[in-house]
Copies of this chain bind each other. A is one copy, B any other.
Amino acid sequence: MRVAILAHELFPDQAKTALGVLRYSDHEAVAVLDRANTGRRVAEFVPDVQDAPIVAGMADLDPTDVDALVIGIAPIGGGFDEQWREDVRTALEVGCDVISGLHYFLADDEEFARLAAENDCELRDIRDPPADLTVADGVAGEVDAEVILTVGTDCSVGKMTTTMELARDARRAGHDAAVIPTGQTGIVIEGWGNPIDRVVSDFTAGAVEAMILEKGDDHDYLFVEGQGSIVHPAYSPVTLGILHGSMPDALVLCHEAGREEIHGYESFSLPSIPTYVDLYERIAAPVAESQVVAGALNTAGLEDDEHARTAVDEYADALGTPASDVLRFGTDELLEVLC
């Protein structure tokens, strides 16, 4: 699929979905829409992802070149920014699908719904969970695949990135590995999945279990994208639903170097790394014997490789397992214990 990626004024640092698509998806990026950086290229900002030109809007693209417009940014609250309306309208008018992970569902927007119907194209609101979900049966552990879940010390510490890097590198090493996407970026990249944070709490574990059962006998390894943290004041139910619903064999604990307080909840300190290991394993144990076997440390905030290496080594010591920064130092040490 050939996609244009909307990321106005937030590219690249605050455009998590745009970057995820450029880095991991099979989609061909025709352009990034960012009116603040018109005329430049992705590679000027981020060297290690798929390159693409940056344009001011959909009107600057040849409609025959684009199959879908992806909303590549998600403002806090997940609302729709009216400054994007012209691009979505133009996309629909020329017959492009629009893929969005916003809480605001484009299909509920009267103008967009009408334009999509008139031009025979699709509004894909990937954060709208399927209607046929139900409670978990506690059977995800029965699939043939080894189930590997990324868990975290907090939100935005690298669980999605770690999941994608591990799955890609496992496949490159010849393993049959698939990703179980549980959040909007993962779903856009993989083209399927379930936005677990939008699922009714009674069905949270069941929605994850259903995905494991769907893929678990067709692959040797499932890399499950984790969410939030088991001790997050707001999002811990999402985390626990994924943990108990996926019944993982192995956990990879993700953390950001230097993070000491819960992001956006600064009155809450992060527990120690060994405490996280203990909590995740103990709370999993009555449902699944899951062990933390590796760690992923996000060292993007550290200037040079030397400091990053020291931080990774200290993290591995605290964990008592191998660790890496998957973007800076690769996944070899992790895949050695995982596959």
Contacts and interface: CB of A to CB of B under 8 A. Distances in A.
A159 interface: no
A1 to B, nearest CB: 29
Contacts of A135: 234-235
A198 interface: yes
- Residue in A135, A231, A286 with the greatest tally of chain B CB atoms within 10 Å: A286
A105 B245 CA distance: 27
Contact of A233 (B202, B244, B271): B244
A171 interface: no
A138 B236 contact: no
Contacts of A234: 135-138, 202, 205-206, 244
Interface string A263-297: 00101111100010011001101110000000000
Contact of A136 (B200, B231, B233): B233
A197 interface: yes
- Interface residue tally of chain A, by bracket? 35 or more
Most buried by B among A202, A240, A265: A202
Copies per complex?
A: 2
A331 interface: no
A198 B200 contact: yes
Contact of A237 (B240, B265, B287): B240
A222 to B, nearest CB: 18
Contacts of A267: 138
Contacts of A198: 200-202
Nearest to A265: B138
A202 B238 contact: yes
A267 B278 CA distance: 24
Contact of A200 (B200, B240, B262, B283): B200
Given A232-B244, A237-B241, 5 more contacts: A137-B233, A138-B265, A236-B240, A268-B286, A278-B282
5 contacts: A135-B234, A136-B234, A138-B265, A236-B240, A237-B240
